[in-house]
């Protein structure tokens, strides 16, 4: 149950597919060369595999425990988090101005992948802290930034996102928590928040809660919600910690997975009101929250890739070790390692290809984000921002949906041993199951992909991506051989399925809204499989070109791309069929509520 | 978390698709009319939903516990098992000669479905007992039958299957347990068996272990394994219990799911040898075990259907109750029950359609089994036996694979609440995960489907089924309307995909064996989706014909079939593509062991 960071695979994507050279050509990223990336990744690999990976099973066996308002985390977590902060890992992407390293998202993303592969439950604490940092950077006053950012970026304090209430999950319009201005610029916050990841714990001196609440005269719905910073301990002007604030953890949840990550119910203001500070302007809280949400959604997508890779590594190791049954073709008289059996090979190849495809797509998306933020040219910034925005729900939705399948295959490869908890395969399966739910379910991602990312710009971002796929198709035609032939044929079919679906969405959004949204998750999966497949096609070309440099490595890349083309890309056409069939209130919507 | 048996749906399948009238026309089944089926199902529904369903969550919270060789089951299980026996439920299908009711498998199957939907962990005890009964009936001596069958059939004693050893999972050739003849017709059995379901428990006075072991001079491999009956307590000539036998439970497993079902490690012969009785002839143990295995495999398929239905019922109830977000088409200004949202509707429709399709296929298979055993005409028996044999790995493999997806959707419908254990949705997801593993993994089912069920008879059984699908296609053509049009188009494409795959298997089995087996699971899934879809097509025709009798019920059937055609059947074509692509050591087999 060790974890070995796939550094070579990561660097291949960074160099060949996400084009790190173009990122280090951007103003402010001059130092972000491939060598720097390699050095950072090497260090990250060391920390994550040595310190955090061994604590993963431990966290599952000895989860966080609540007692009398306090949460004790898994033994070892507190010390590991101290090392995480001291190593500067919380600050990898954040501004140097506040103590961060200011590295590109392209380099931070593999670090986040390793962190999550090593220990998904642990990684949630930094992930949420990143979100709080983003929101403060975007909308916080200078005073709030100066007071809170350095300690968050150094990993001394941690952050949380407080959206959900018992009656308000995906539907923020139903938020009821309230904030009362005190006349001195501060507020008193009251209400109950649930599902708050690391809402209480013992790993840091202070916890900075970002909380959605309504002021007394706010309009109804999502346009009347403001964002407040509510620290667990008040912070004095000299930066030292003051009084305990009136926010208390009344319980933590008993969950299917990510058990070491405490999921808190937080009670605000039961003893007079929790002191809070408005972030940005009143009634714009949901807008700010979406900024941190977008960053968090991308990171959750990376979690899907991470847990998939961890599950794959464990399954591959078991399959090489476990001896059982003779080969089906009679090529040996003795029982062989199960990796010799075609179906085990298929399962491992599926796990590997899905993980690599999703990884490539996420890193490429990260590079678009870097260009969107750093390009000198405003047009380039806008163009890359639009593509990144389109890809965020795909990375989130697709990488997490596929992680359920991949971790399930991980259990299956182990046979009966996979069902025994001590084996560890089941933990990945349980842990992965939250990923399609939190930070917006797959359906919410699909709604975002349709509404804000496809229809709002009239399909412009989608068509820009399709045009890039066409370039890859042209490049594929220049090569011969089975892998290129298969990839060209399947990617062309997949590209057509995606293009048809985009047009279907655009043409029917107003006239047949429900049918369009009924096809949303299928559209998201179709985009996920085709865009991952496209990255595998680019990997195929790059690997073919470099083959002679390192035949063993590049031939594996070629075979994996070939497998993706033959075995995974064909799903695109089935998905398109189910989307287009949804038209006219048939299929999904033909059954009324009372028919269920 | 209640369970309501879907009696109307079950009776629809029994009457319209599995043609109970033809079963009650068989010699020995004269009483097995639709009325009798209804009466039996009504009673089963009552017992299972009232007594067993409430114990399901309890079993997950308070699993079986091992202490000093003894296993204490979940509070309530022992009493429920007594009532199960007294109600005659263990004997539904078994011979009246030994105290059973002698009902057709077609009527027993919905009883088994209800039992498993109510309480999967509990149901495993009767399921394994059924297997032991089958094996004894097939190969046991009259003395063994007289001594053990009545108590097993009455539910006073229970049975187990002892195949697996630490080094011998799917690969029975590796079995090392040994049996030494004592010269008096009895044997002393020695060895360690693992993964023994209900291998030790407190629900019955005695446990009858059926154990695979080798005699000293037996040939190597699977042809040197014999089957022994080893009772926990020896049975005196008058039927009373004698001495405790030398078989002891040394531990039980800590599992992902089905926690109430004790999975035992059994140690045979550590104190001089466990007294055992040979069943049938020496060295034919694996053959006999396959008889009980075949019955058990069908039953595990039914478990998949059962847990899917339970998960569906829970998700549908939650979706009608949980209010969240406004409709996507702006048709209401207030938040609505989430069942109004298109993607929730899609998830519920998927769960429902998959479950109904798999149920119909399993019940139809059960009817084939009844005809295979009871038809007066030997040709008819052989014909139906071949079809039943073909369907067993499909029912087992497909119903269980789809149950993982269905129970996962059940979690997803619940959103964040689905991840909280108290909700109960996660239990179904965890419980279902064993189903694709035990009694032969999906790959083992696929190997059976290819080798023994498709290639051995030169595709005859497969083609007989394809010919029946053609009849359904002709019948579909006689009707107009969107549902019939969609079903005809998709079923025709699915039928072609299945036919092509069968031909691919037949033509390449010898020349490209590994490629054929690499496509095995895809073939099994393809068969599952097409044959389920075929049953949905038959349901569509039957429902259309009867529509006026009960519009609400039959229109739901029509809409569900329509959904299956548009949203699920298209997968067949993608599966075919991945199978045929496996040819020539490409794809799956292109990656060598050391490339993983």
Does the distance separating the beta carbons of B416 and A164 come in below 8 Å?
Answer: yes
The residue in chain A having the minimum alpha-carbon distance to the alpha carbon of residue B168 is A324
Pairing label, strands B233-235, B186-197: unpaired
Q: Which domain holds residue A519?
A: 442-590
The residue in chain A having the minimum alpha-carbon distance to the alpha carbon of residue B408 is A433
Instruction: Give the residue from A284, A314, A349 where a domain finishes.
Output: A284
Does the distance separating the beta carbons of A195 and B345 come in below 8 Å?
Answer: no
Residue of B169, B343, B446 with shortest CB distance to A324: B169
Q: Are residues B166 and B125 in the same domain?
A: no
Express each pLDDT in A41-51 by its tens digit.
999 999 999 99
The residue in chain A having the minimum alpha-carbon distance to the alpha carbon of residue B422 is A254
Q: Are residues A18 and A131 in the same domain?
A: yes
Pairing label, strands B157-162, B206-213: parallel
Does the distance separating the beta carbons of B570 and A573 come in below 8 Å?
Answer: yes
The residue in chain A having the minimum alpha-carbon distance to the alpha carbon of residue B173 is A325
Instruction: Classify A11 as helix, strand or coil.
Output: helix
The pLDDT-based confidence of A349 (bands split at 50, 70, 90) is very high
Extract the tokens encoding A553.
């490595």
Task: Tell me how far CA of residue B530 lies from CA of A364, B299, B364, B472, B478, in angstroms.
Answer: 38, 21, 14, 12, 21
Which residues of B fall within a CB distance of 8 Å from A442? 412
Query: Chain A: nearest CA to B242, how far in angstroms?
Result: 34
Instruction: Classify B18 as helix, strand or coil.
Output: coil
CATH of the domain at B34: 1.10.540.10
Express each pLDDT in B187-197 by its tens digit.
999 999 999 99
- The answer on pLDDT for A581 being more than 90 is no
Provide DSSP, B331-378.
Answer: --SS--BGGGSHHHHHHHHHHHHHHHHHHHHHHHHHHHHHHHHH-SSH
- Residue labelled with tokens 């490690």: B265
For A446, list phi and psi in degrees, rounded to 5: -65, -40
Express each pLDDT in A199-209 by its tens digit.
999 999 999 99
Instruction: Give the residue from A153, A183, A213 where a domain finishes.
Output: A153
Express each pLDDT in A449-487 by its tens digit.
999 999 999 999 999 999 999 999 999 999 999 999 999
- Residue labelled with tokens 């050591």: B585
Residue among B587, B589, B593, B594 with most chain A CBs within 10 A, to mutate: B587
Does the distance separating the beta carbons of A352 and B587 come in below 8 Å?
Answer: no
Instruction: Give the residue from B102, B119, B153 where a domain finishes.
Output: B153
The pLDDT-based confidence of A332 (bands split at 50, 70, 90) is confident
For the four alpha carbons of B38, B40, B44 and B47, in that order, the dihedral sign comes to: positive
Which residues of A fall within a CB distance of 8 Å from B343? 443, 446, 517-518, 520-521
For the residues B367-396, what does the mean pLDDT come to?
97
Rounded to whole angstroms, the Cα distance separating A199 from A177 reads 16
For the residues A221-233, what does the mean pLDDT come to?
97
Query: H or E element: which one contains A77?
Result: helix A77-86
Does the distance separating the beta carbons of A589 and B345 come in below 8 Å?
Answer: yes
pLDDT score recorded for residue A451:
95
Query: Chain A: nearest CA to B328, how far in angstroms?
Result: 7
Which residues of B fall within a CB distance of 8 Å from A588? 342, 345-346, 349, 563, 567
Q: Are residues B475 and B531 in the same domain?
A: yes
Provide DSSP, B392-423.
Answer: HHHHHHHHHHHHHHHHHHHHHHTGGGGGBGGG
Express each pLDDT in B144-153 by its tens digit.
999 999 999 9
Q: Are residues B447 and B576 in the same domain?
A: yes
Rounded to whole angstroms, the Cα distance separating B465 from B479 reads 22
Instruction: Classify B191 as helix, strand or coil.
Output: strand
Extract the tokens encoding B90.
């263990």
Rounded to whole angstroms, the Cα distance separating B479 from B469 reads 16
- The answer on pLDDT for A93 being more than 90 is no
The residue in chain B having the minimum alpha-carbon distance to the alpha carbon of residue A578 is B567
Q: Are residues A488 and A568 in the same domain?
A: yes
Task: Tell me how far CA of residue A492 lies from CA of A297, A304, A486, A578, B35, in angstroms.
Answer: 29, 27, 10, 19, 56
Identify the active-site residue in A113, A200, A439, A576. A439
Q: Are residues B108 and B209 in the same domain?
A: no
Q: Are residues A11 and A147 in the same domain?
A: yes
**DSSP secondary structure code for residue A74 in this structure:** P
Q: Are residues B56 and B106 in the same domain?
A: yes
User: Facing residues of A70 across strands?
Assistant: A67
The pLDDT-based confidence of A592 (bands split at 50, 70, 90) is confident
Rounded to whole angstroms, the Cα distance separating A545 from A537 reads 13
pLDDT score recorded for residue B584:
55
For the residues B235-254, what does the mean pLDDT come to?
97
Which residues of A fall within a CB distance of 8 Å from B169? 324, 415-416
Query: Chain A: nearest CA to B37, how far in angstroms?
Result: 25
Q: Are residues B457 and B501 in the same domain?
A: yes
pLDDT score recorded for residue A169:
87
Q: Are residues B136 and B28 in the same domain?
A: yes
For the residues A432-436, what does the mean pLDDT come to?
98
Residue of A342, A404, A566 with shortest CB distance to B581: A566
Query: Chain B: nearest CA to A479, how far in angstroms?
Result: 18
- The answer on pLDDT for B214 being more than 70 is yes
B523 assigned to some structural domain: yes
Query: Chain A: nearest CA to B479, how far in angstroms?
Result: 18
Query: Chain A: nearest CA to B253, how far in angstroms?
Result: 7
Lowest mean pLDDT among B13-22, B509-518, B563-572: B509-518
B500 assigned to some structural domain: yes
pLDDT score recorded for residue A80:
98
3-class SS letters over A221-252: HHHHCEEEEEECEEECCCCCEEEECCEEEEEE
The residue in chain A having the minimum alpha-carbon distance to the alpha carbon of residue B518 is A342
pLDDT score recorded for residue B294:
85
pLDDT score recorded for residue A331:
87
Which residues of A fall within a CB distance of 8 Å from B433? 408, 411, 419, 426, 429
For the residues A73-101, what does the mean pLDDT come to?
94
pLDDT score recorded for residue A587:
65
pLDDT score recorded for residue B333:
87
Does the distance separating the beta carbons of A316 and B596 come in below 8 Å?
Answer: yes
For the residues B70-88, what does the mean pLDDT come to?
97
Does the distance separating the beta carbons of A437 and B416 come in below 8 Å?
Answer: yes
Residue of B349, B419, B566 with shortest CB distance to A255: B419
pLDDT score recorded for residue A585:
54
B352 assigned to some structural domain: no
Rounded to whole angstroms, the Cα distance separating A20 from B203 reads 65
Residue of A346, A556, A595 with shortest CB distance to B588: A346
pLDDT score recorded for residue B169:
87
B522 assigned to some structural domain: yes
Instruction: Classify B200 as helix, strand or coil.
Output: coil
pLDDT score recorded for residue B590:
76
Rounded to whole angstroms, the Cα distance separating B537 from B531 reads 10
A435 assigned to some structural domain: no
Rounded to whole angstroms, the Cα distance separating B362 from B109 reads 8
- The answer on pLDDT for A584 being more than 70 is no
Residue B511, Cβ density class (10 Å: 0-12 exposed, 13-18 middle, ≥19 buried) = exposed
For the residues B223-235, what does the mean pLDDT come to?
98
Rounded to whole angstroms, the Cα distance separating B230 from B278 reads 9
pLDDT score recorded for residue A586:
64
- The answer on pLDDT for B583 being more than 90 is no
Percent of chain B with pLDDT over 70: 99
Which residues of A fall within a CB distance of 8 Å from B482? 586
Reference B87, options B184, B163, B155; nearest CA is B155
B332 assigned to some structural domain: no
Percent of chain A with pLDDT over 70: 99
Q: Is residue B125 a contact partner of residue B278, using CB atoms and an 8 Å limit?
A: no
- Residue labelled with tokens 């004693």: B157
Does the distance separating the beta carbons of A588 and B324 come in below 8 Å?
Answer: no
Q: Are residues B123 and B243 in the same domain?
A: no
Does the distance separating the beta carbons of A589 and B567 come in below 8 Å?
Answer: no
Q: Is residue B461 a contact partner of residue B386, using CB atoms and an 8 Å limit?
A: yes
Q: Are residues A130 and A180 in the same domain?
A: no
Does the distance separating the beta carbons of A577 and B570 come in below 8 Å?
Answer: yes
Tally of domains within chain B: 3
Q: Is residue A104 a contact partner of residue A155, using CB atoms and an 8 Å limit?
A: no
Long-range contacts of B445-448 (CB under 8 A, 24+ apart): B445/B297, B445/B393, B445/B394, B445/B396, B445/B397, B445/B524, B446/A343, B446/B393, B446/B397, B446/B517, B446/B520, B446/B521, B446/B523, B446/B524, B447/A328, B447/B517, B447/B520, B448/B392, B448/B393
Express each pLDDT in B453-488 by its tens digit.
999 999 999 999 999 999 999 999 999 999 999 999
Does the distance separating the beta carbons of A418 and B437 come in below 8 Å?
Answer: yes
For the residues B425-429, what does the mean pLDDT come to?
98
Which residues of A fall within a CB distance of 8 Å from B345? 518, 588-589, 591
Residue of B421, B422, B438 with shortest CB distance to A416: B438
The residue in chain A having the minimum alpha-carbon distance to the alpha carbon of residue B318 is A596
Cα distance between the two ends of chain A: 43
Extract the tokens encoding A57.
């099973």
Reference A418, options A347, A358, A342; nearest CA is A347
B270 assigned to some structural domain: yes
Angle formed at CA B159 by CA B157 and CA B164, multiple of 5 degrees: 155
- The answer on pLDDT for B236 being more than 60 is yes
B210 assigned to some structural domain: yes
CATH of the domain at B199: 2.40.110.20
Residues of B noted as catalytic: 439
Q: Tell me the average pLDDT of chain B.
A: 95
């Amino acid at each position: 149950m060790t974890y070995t960071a796939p550094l070579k695979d990561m660097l291949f994507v960074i160099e060949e597919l996400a084009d790190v050279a173009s990122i280090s050509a951007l103003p402010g990223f001059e130092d972000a060369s491939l060598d720097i990336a390699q050095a950072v990744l090497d260090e990250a690999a060391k920390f994550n595999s040595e310190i955090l990976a061994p604590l993963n099973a431990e966290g599952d066996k000895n989860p966080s425990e609540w007692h009398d308002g306090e949460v004790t985390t898994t033994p070892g977590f507190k010390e590991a988090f101290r090392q995480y902060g001291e190593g500067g890992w919380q600050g990898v992407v954040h501004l140097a101005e506040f103590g961060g390293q200011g590295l590109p998202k392209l380099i931070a993303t593999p670090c986040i992948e390793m962190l999550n592969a090593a220990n998904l439950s642990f990684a949630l604490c930094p992930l949420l802290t990143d979100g709080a940092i983003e929101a403060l950077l975007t909308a916080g006053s200078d005073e709030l930034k100066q007071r809170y950012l350095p300690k968050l970026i150094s990993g001394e304090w941690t952050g949380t996102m407080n959206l959900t209430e018992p009656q308000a999950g995906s539907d923020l319009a139903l938020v009821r928590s309230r904030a009362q201005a005190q006349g001195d610029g501060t507020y008193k916050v009251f209400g109950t928040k649930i599902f708050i990841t690391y809402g209480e714990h013992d790993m840091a001196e202070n916890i900075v809660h970002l909380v959605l609440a309504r002021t007394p005269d706010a309009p109804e719905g999502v346009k009347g919600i403001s964002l407040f910073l509510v620290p667990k301990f008040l912070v004095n002007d000299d930066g030292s910690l003051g009084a305990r604030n009136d926010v208390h953890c009344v319980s933590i949840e008993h969950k299917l997975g990510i058990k070491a990550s405490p999921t808190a119910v937080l009670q605000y203001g039961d003893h007079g009101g929790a002191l809070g500070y408005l972030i940005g302007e009143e009634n714009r809280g949901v807008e700010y929250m979406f900024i941190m949400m977008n960053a968090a959604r991308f990171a959750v997508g990376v979690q899907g890739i991470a847990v998939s890779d961890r599950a794959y590594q464990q399954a591959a190791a078991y399959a090489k070790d476990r001896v059982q049954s003779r080969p089906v073709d009679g090529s040996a008289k003795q029982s062989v390692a199960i990796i010799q059996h075609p179906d085990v090979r298929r399962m491992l190849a599926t796990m590997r290809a899905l993980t690599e495809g999703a990884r490539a797509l996420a890193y490429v998306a990260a590079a678009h984000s870097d260009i969107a933020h750093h390009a000198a040219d405003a047009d380039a910034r806008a163009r890359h921002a639009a593509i990144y925005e389109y890809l965020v729900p795909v990375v989130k939705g697709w990488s997490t949906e596929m992680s359920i399948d991949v971790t399930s295959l991980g259990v299956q490869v182990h046979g009966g041993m996979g069902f025994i908890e001590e084996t560890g395969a089941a933990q990945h399966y349980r842990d992965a199951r939250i990923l399609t739910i939190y930070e917006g379910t797959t359906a919410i991602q699909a709604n975002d992909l349709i509404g804000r990312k496809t229809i709002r710009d009239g399909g412009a971002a989608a068509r820009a991506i399709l045009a890039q796929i066409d370039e890859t198709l042209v490049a594929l035609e220049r090569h011969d051989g089975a892998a290129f032939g298969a990839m060209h044929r399947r990617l062309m079919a997949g590209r057509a399925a995606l293009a048809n679906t985009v047009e279907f969405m655009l043409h029917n959004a107003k006239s047949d809204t429900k049918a369009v949204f009924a096809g949303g998750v299928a559209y998201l999966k179709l985009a996920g499989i085709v865009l991952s497949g496209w990255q595998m096609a680019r990997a195929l070309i790059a690997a073919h070109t470099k083959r002679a440099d390192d035949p063993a490595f590049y031939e594996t890349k070629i075979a994996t791309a070939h497998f993706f083309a033959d075995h995974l890309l064909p799903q695109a056409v089935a998905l398109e069929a189910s989307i287009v069939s949804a038209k006219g209130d048939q299929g999904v919507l033909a059954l009324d509520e009372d028919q269920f």
